[in-house]
Structure 1
């Protein structure tokens, strides 16, 4: 179950990164993705506030991983049932994905937020910057896509300035 969930998260995040970045292409942003960005300071349930077209496009990232996994294990490689996709795994995946989306839009990194335990997990701070700046930080779960494709440089500079300001305040 855990390896399947890890594969689903990686697939969803890779897909989400690229589709989310595409949604910031001006013609698409203006007509579709702008709905989601009505909240510059998002809150949990705003994660699901989006244009229906955006919901369909990004929703494929959530169901696409399990669908592709099932197709590969059942029909392409014809693996036995031990490799199959169990209903409980699918339900847990949906719950975890929803938790991740709400957590990233909560505006707060809770003590139980994965960004406190997994160094490459994005978290609320990472996504809040995206809603403030309207550019960069496109990944939903893992920071590595933004780092790899160079779409977090302004965020990293922003965090560096914040750290410097905190350091100066402590000195006074």
Structure 2
């Protein structure tokens, strides 16, 4: 995220923040002359090491993410828990200092340029690049716009060039479904981004294991290539369990049912979630770089690939019945029959958890005549309704194009 944010700061945000909140401007003068702000600042300064402000930290960032080298922090770090002496008053300080020890100070974003020069507006705003409020707002704007564009562009191309439009005639295709999917996705994406913001902030503050230099100390090119299957396997495992949890009846009704409104899907269903549901299933992608080394550019590439994959498994084009890959056919089975094929990339965890259901051979028969296709759809609906009645109850609030 620091690569993306530095590009945006250099070309757009530095100038915007400088124009909106310039140093020496009215807001700056108000903050400097405000007794309340000065009192808070002095209180914060009592708990900060001198190196924090001297090193260029934004004042608010210093209060939250400064180097923990003060005597207070040092005492917390040296505090030992044992059976004879436990001072509970020291526990919060101890835990905070332990947390701060995980920070890589050289990876804190915004203290100095890394990929691009400073530019004319680098230090012109009272909100420096490293300011946590500025970072939060910038990330929200950038990732929301990126998410919207990626979703619309990839889903549109999939709809035009890949999607099998026969699905419009399926008896469980909803009225105005594609527009309902787009509306749901476009309103959910900003909320999902806002919920994900803390993970991006942790990365920008040096708490992730993301790296840029490829050398022996970072494992070289071999480890970079190995990171791809590691990322896929790690996220596939966690998503399986999160997805299966989302199908618990009480959780399903509150969070996951909006995505299962689409019993047969178009590519635009890919991001049409309840925001908390979409956020929960994206958690593994953000947890991975907090625990495992991952190249920054590869992380951006994998994040983009994940969005491509999410669209692809909703496009209704059945090209492969691979027993290992959890492709489009497997995910269609999930939408049709609800309680099967929870995996994202592979069928491994569904096989271990006994939730794998092999896609019907009829999915892969090309140029089926209309009568046979209608018979197959009728069979699907009969099986689907039995499972849906158990999961959702007999009342179905969906409005279909037609009934059989």
Q: Fold conserved (TM > 0.5)? A: yes
Deviations 1:76-116 (A, max 9, x none): xxxxxxxxx32211111111111111111111135xxxx57
Long gaps (5+) in structure 2: 1-223, 366-371, 373-404
Residue in structure 2 matched with residue 34 of structure 1 by the alignment:
257
Of 346, 350, 355 in structure 2, the residue corresponding to residue 142 of structure 1 is: 346
- Greater share of helix residues, 1 or 2? 1
Of 120, 123, 133 in structure 1, the residue corresponding to residue 337 of structure 2 is: 133
Residue in structure 2 matched with residue 103 of structure 1 by the alignment:
312
- Paired positions, count: 143
1:137–1:151 CA contact under 8 A, matched in 2 = yes
Of 124, 134, 153 in structure 1, the residue corresponding to residue 328 of structure 2 is: 124
Q: Which has the higher contact order (CA 8 A, sep 6+)?
A: 1
Once residues 143 and 21 of structure 1 are traced to their aligned partners in structure 2, the CA distance between those partners, rounded to angstroms, is 14
Instruction: Report SS of the residue matched to 2:292.
Output: helix
Of 276, 280, 285 in structure 2, the residue corresponding to residue 57 of structure 1 is: 280
Deviations 1:45-87 (A, max 9, x none): 31211111112211112222222213xxxxxxxxxxxxxx322
Residue in structure 1 matched with residue 295 of structure 2 by the alignment:
86
1:18 equivalent in alignment to 2:227? no
Shift of 1:125: 0.2
Once residues 42 and 66 of structure 1 are traced to their aligned partners in structure 2, the CA distance between those partners, rounded to angstroms, is 32
Q: TM-score, normalised by structure 1?
A: 0.75
Once residues 119 and 15 of structure 1 are traced to their aligned partners in structure 2, the CA distance between those partners, rounded to angstroms, is 20
Of 355, 360, 365 in structure 2, the residue corresponding to residue 159 of structure 1 is: 360
Long gaps (5+) in structure 1: 71-84
Once residues 12 and 92 of structure 1 are traced to their aligned partners in structure 2, the CA distance between those partners, rounded to angstroms, is 15
Instruction: Please tell me whether Structure 1 or Structure 2 has the larger radius of gyration of its CA atoms.
Output: 2
Instruction: Report SS of the residue matched to 1:109.
Output: coil
1:41–1:131 CA contact under 8 A, matched in 2 = yes
Instruction: Report SS of the residue matched to 1:50.
Output: coil
Shift of 1:119: 4.7
Once residues 265 and 225 of structure 2 are traced to their aligned partners in structure 1, the CA distance between those partners, rounded to angstroms, is 30
Instruction: Report SS of the residue matched to 1:48.
Output: coil
Shift of 1:130: 0.5
